[in-house]
């Protein structure tokens, strides 16, 4: 929810403001009482849980884009992992190895990497009101609709872009997707990228969609968007509560208020390896973060769906160490500087901002060292290529060398950009678009302050995260110069998924809300390096290729990495949370239970 914020924030004021939450200011190693070494929660597979009960999830922000063909957010992935069945999935405690979900076995990839064949399980049925068995044609339609302008899936061109005939795809049949029978789907590619496509089928786009039901929502006039997300049909153990016609909007989906998952009556445990202990999930929206944190820690049957505030992290570690889990490898966080327009089309100005920014303080307002490591590049721990890119040290660039900021280095780059006194004298106002609510608003203010210290005139705009991405940072037409608190988590276990969609100039989309290359970086050298790396098959060579790309991107200063997340997740004492290590540690609803 929007909050009153102070535009100018200096370090001493921040320390006084946070004195009741964080133990000390100015120490790069201080964890604010939140060191995860003192917590006792560990990753849990969920095996042997108790059946029954409703898990309640509290968040401040709403979750939008719940169509499996549209969504690209961690919270939506969390919800949809219980309602739809893509071809493959990750077990909650294993973020590395894919396992069959809708598929009956592992994918068969041809020796030349240009054909992928998948067999589909028998007996998987759609929820009401469709009530029929899922076939390979439903997967084919699901992927094809991702290219429909009314759907506009953001990652389909990246991971399915080598399908034969995809250059003409508009939501209709794609020649490179074949269904020789009801249990077989074959993908034919123009390049040897079958390994990447096979892993991409862990994403919701490959979850089956019944064409005879969904096409009325997808077939829209130009400029209109599908409404299937509000009428979606389940294939998993849970479904959004809906009326007899399948309408979830106003029932299980009440924007700004709540989401409700109930059991899918057509789900058959014999077709699914997940236990699905819970009777339902009740997701409440609009909760004040600190109040919600206290309710979860002190209450029963609750988990927090948002990032906890620093106050909540400290309280959990000190008083409820068995109720907080720090999920490793939970992604990166960075500030994006718009390279397509002045003033940050100048790489020296971008590097000056990176050098000035106090990344240590940005971590501190979130809870200190317990919630992550100061980032020095974009590939994060646990992702292939991280060590090859320099590991914790990174590429050792001078403008990222000091986590607390280095004004002398900032002045060096300001001078290189033509501002010898170290202050920007341009007349334009730089718009900084951040997120309201603790701790995101504080991080946004810190970036805004770093810009002002360098002489930039700024306009700080704090909005909810959906608005930040949809209206501003993912919409080039909005011309937002700085987006300070963006985050990226891998799509699946491959370094390409961290860097390609986020920094490949060929992925830049001008359609509102669909651009994932937030700094709009379009460097021909980097684009060409990515095109080559996409075709590398050997795991070590692939890691090295993407590590080199990671260095190239970091050197541009287009994205200022400031945190490698260890996402804190808190739950009530009677909640057995099976943390999704592949998805920021959220409780996996199909594995979690109540004690």
- Kind of pairing between the strands at 332-337 and 482-488: antiparallel
Greater model confidence, 585 or 6? 585
**Vertex 228: Cα angle to 216 and 168 (nearest 5):** 70
Domain shared by 484 and 584, yes or no: no
CATH of the domain at 178: 3.40.190.10
Residues 222, 202, single domain; the answer is: yes
Residues 256 and 377 in one domain: no
Tens of pLDDT along 62-114?
998 899 999 988 999 999 999 999 999 999 999 989 999 999 999 999 999 99
| Predicted local confidence at residue 40, as pLDDT | 63
If asked whether residues 266 and 398 sit together in one domain, one would say no
pLDDT of residue 330: 86
pLDDT at position 212 over 80: yes
Mean pLDDT lowest among 140-144, 155-159, 455-459, 478-482: 155-159
Which of helix, strand or coil describes residue 238? strand
Taking residue 457's Cβ as centre, other Cβ atoms within 10 Å add up to 12
**297 in a domain, yes or no?**
no
Q: What is the mean pLDDT of the chain?
A: 91
Residue-wise pLDDT tens digits, 279-314: 999 999 999 999 999 999 999 999 999 989 889 999
- Any domain includes 295: no
Tokens of 395: 């590429």
Rounded to whole angstroms, the Cα distance separating 462 from 447 reads 12
Asked if 556 and 581 sit in the same domain, the reply is no
**Average pLDDT rounded to a whole number, residues 493-520:** 92
pLDDT at 154 over 90: no
Distance (Å, rounded) from C-alpha 543 to C-alpha 528?
17
26 domain residue, yes or no: no
Cα dihedral angle (406, 408, 409, 413), rounded to 10 degrees? 130
Is residue 138 domain-shared with residue 257, that is, in the same domain? yes
State whether 220 and 344 are in the same domain: no
Is the pLDDT at 2 greater than 50? The verdict is no
Specify if 393 maps to a domain. yes
Token pair 């300070």: residue: 484
Question: Number of helices (H) and strands (E), helices first, in the chain?
Answer: 16, 22
Strands 593-594 and 575-576: antiparallel
Tell me whether residue 311 is in a domain: no
Confidence bin at 8 (pLDDT 50/70/90): very low
pLDDT at 519 over 90: yes
| Residue 377's CATH number | 3.10.105.10
Q: Is the pLDDT of residue 463 over 90?
A: yes
pLDDT digits 0-9 by tens, 223-265 = 899 999 999 999 999 999 999 999 999 999 999 999 999 999 9
Residue 283 domain-assigned (yes or no)? no
Predicted confidence at residue 431, as pLDDT, reads 98
Same domain, 384 and 441: yes
CA–CA gap between residue 405 and residue 357 (Å, rounded): 5
Q: What number is the average pLDDT over the span 514-537?
A: 95
pTM above 0.85, yes or no: no
Residue written as token pair 């960075």: 334
**Portion of the chain with pLDDT greater than 70, in percent:** 93
Tell me how far CA of residue 346 lies from CA of 294, 328, 351, 445, in angstroms. 46, 35, 9, 23
Same domain, 458 and 360: yes
* Span 442-451, average pLDDT: 97
Residue 502 pLDDT greater than 50, yes or no = yes
| 24 assigned to some structural domain | no
pLDDT of 9 above 60: no
Instruction: Please tell me the total count of domains within the chain.
Output: 2
The answer on 562 and 579 residing in a single domain is: no
Is residue 587 located within the same domain as residue 523? no
Q: Which residues of 70-104 are buried (b: 16+ CB within 10 A; e: fewer)?
A: bbbbbbbbbbbbbbbbbbbbbbbbebeebebbbbe
Q: Does 417 fall in a domain?
A: yes
Q: What is the pLDDT of residues 536-593, one digit of tens each?
A: 989 999 999 999 999 999 999 999 999 999 999 999 999 999 999 999 999 999 999 9
**φ and ψ at residue 240, rounded to 5 degrees:** -70, 130
- Measured CA angle at 183 (ends 150, 76), to 5 deg: 40
Domain span at 525: 329-567
**pLDDT value for 438:** 84
Q: Looking at residue 85, what is its pLDDT?
A: 98
Supply the pLDDT for residue 511: 82
Find the mean pLDDT for residues 373-402. Answer: 96
Cα separation of 90 and 490, whole Å? Answer: 13
The Cα diameter of the chain in Å comes to 71
3-state SS string for 290-330: HHHHHHHHHCCCEEECCCCCHHHHHHHHHHCHHHEEEECCC
Position 39 confidence tier, pLDDT thresholds 50, 70, 90: low
Report residue 46's pLDDT band, with 50, 70 and 90 as the boundaries.
confident
* Residues 476, 491 share a domain: yes
């Amino acid at each position: 929810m929007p909050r009153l914020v102070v535009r100018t924030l200096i370090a001493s004021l921040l320390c006084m403001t946070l004195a009741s939450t964080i133990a000390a200011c100015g120490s790069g190693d201080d964890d604010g009482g939140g060191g995860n070494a003192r917590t006792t929660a560990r990753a849990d597979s969920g095996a042997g849980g108790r059946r029954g009960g409703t898990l309640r999830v509290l968040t401040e922000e709403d979750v939008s884009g719940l169509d499996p063909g549209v969504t690209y957010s961690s919270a939506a992935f969390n919800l949809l992992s219980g309602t739809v069945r893509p071809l493959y999935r990750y077990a909650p405690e294993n973020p590395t190895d894919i396992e069959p979900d809708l598929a009956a076995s592992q994918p068969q990839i041809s020796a030349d990497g240009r054909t992928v064949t998948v067999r589909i399980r028998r007996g998987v049925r759609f929820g009401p009101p469709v009530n029929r068995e899922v076939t390979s044609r439903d997967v084919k339609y699901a992927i094809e609709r991702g290219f429909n302008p009314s759907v506009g899936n953001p990652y389909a061109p990246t991971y399915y872009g080598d399908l034969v005939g995809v250059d003409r795809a508009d939501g209709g049949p794609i020649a490179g997707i074949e269904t020789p029978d009801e249990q077989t789907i074959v993908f034919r590619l123009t390049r040897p990228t079958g390994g990447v496509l096979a892993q991409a089928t862990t994403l919701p786009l490959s979850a089956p969609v019944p064409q005879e039901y969904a096409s009325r929502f997808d077939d829209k006039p130009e400029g209109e968007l599908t409404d299937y997300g509000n009428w979606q049909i389940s294939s998993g153990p849970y479904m959004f509560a809906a009326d007899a016609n399948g309408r979830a909007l106003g029932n299980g989906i009440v924007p700004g208020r709540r989401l409700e998952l109930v059991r899918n009556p057509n789900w058959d445990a014999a077709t699914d390896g997940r236990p699905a202990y819970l009777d339902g999930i009740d997701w409440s929206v609009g909760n004040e973060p600190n109040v919600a944190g206290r309710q979860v820690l002190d209450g029963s049957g609750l988990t927090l769906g948002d990032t906890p505030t620093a106050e909540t992290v400290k309280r959990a570690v000190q008083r409820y160490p068995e109720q907080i889990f720090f999920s490793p490898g939970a992604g990166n966080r960075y500030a994006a500087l718009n390279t397509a327009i002045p003033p940050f089309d100048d790489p020296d100005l971008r590097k000056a901002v990176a050098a000035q920014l106090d990344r240590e303080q940005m971590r501190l307002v979130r809870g200190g060292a317990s919630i992550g490591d100061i980032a020095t590049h974009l590939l994060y721990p646990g992702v292939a290529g991280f060590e090859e890119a320099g590991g914790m040290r990174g590429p050792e660039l001078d403008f990222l060398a000091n986590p607390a900021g280095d004004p002398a280095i900032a002045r060096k780059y300001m001078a290189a950009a033509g501002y010898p006194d170290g202050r920007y004298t341009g007349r334009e106002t730089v718009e900084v678009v951040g997120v309201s609510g603790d701790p995101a608003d504080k991080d946004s203010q810190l970036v805004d302050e770093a810009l002002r210290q360098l002489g930039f005139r700024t306009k700080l705009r704090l909005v909810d995260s959906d608005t930040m991405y949809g209206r501003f940072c993912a919409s080039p037409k909005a011309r937002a110069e700085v987006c300070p608190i963006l985050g990226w988590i891998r799509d699946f276990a491959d370094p390409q998924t961290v860097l390609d969609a986020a920094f490949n100039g060929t992925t830049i989309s001008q359609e509102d809300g669909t651009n994932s290359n937030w700094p709009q970086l379009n460097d021909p050298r980097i684009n060409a390096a990515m095109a080559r790396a996409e075709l590398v098959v050997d795991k070590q060579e692939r890691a090295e290729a993407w590590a080199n790309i990671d260095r190239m991107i970091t050197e541009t200063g287009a994205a200022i990495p400031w945190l490698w997340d260890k996402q804190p997740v808190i739950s009530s004492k009677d909640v057995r949370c099976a943390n999704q290590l592949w998805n920021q540690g959220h409780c996996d609803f199909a594995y979690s239970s109540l004690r």
